[in-house]
Amino acid sequence: MVTSSQWVGRMCKCGDVIYNQGESGDCMYLIQTGHVELIQHKGANEYCLEEVGEGDFFGEMALFGYPIRSATARATEHGAIILSMEKKAFLKKMHYDPSLAFNMLKKMADRIQHLEDVLVQYGESMLPDEQR
């Protein structure tokens, strides 16, 4: 069971940055209420990779050997209440409740499947009409 001491809460107003692309991180986040957009910057452009909401997690890559944040996380128009869990607490929690890891892997696999679908659609849209 997750104890409250493993999670640290934070209230975010609209536009509050939770972390920036390129920063080092050692925790993941869970959204209690509201929404957070995950944004990647390339040059002067900003791309919204995903918007996550209540019950979703983000920033988990920092727990699995990728401490440099690949995107910026920012609260959307109505703000968000988020909880953070550091890597050490996460590993301890996984030891006592392996279902946490399974549920995270399932969600991460769903995200990969979605990205694969988007890549295929994009690739097909680049083909000449006679090849589609």
12: its two tokens = 């975010």
Give me the residue spans of the domains in the chain: 7-86, 97-127
- pLDDT of the residue at 98: 87
Residues 113, 49, 10, CA angle at the centre, nearest 5°?
110
DSSP 18-55: EE-TT-B--EEEEEEEEEEEEEEEETTEEEEEEEEETT
- pLDDT of the residue at 52: 95
What is the chain's pLDDT, residue by residue, as a tens digit (132 residues)? 445 567 889 999 999 999 999 999 999 999 999 999 999 999 999 999 999 999 999 999 999 889 999 999 999 999 999 999 999 999 898 888 888 888 888 988 998 898 899 888 888 887 777 666
Task: Please give the CATH topology (third level) of the domain spanning 7-86.
Answer: Jelly Rolls (2.60.120)
- pLDDT of the residue at 1: 41
Q: Are 32 and 62 in contact (CB under 8 A)?
A: no
| Helix segments in the chain, DSSP class H | 87-96, 98-125
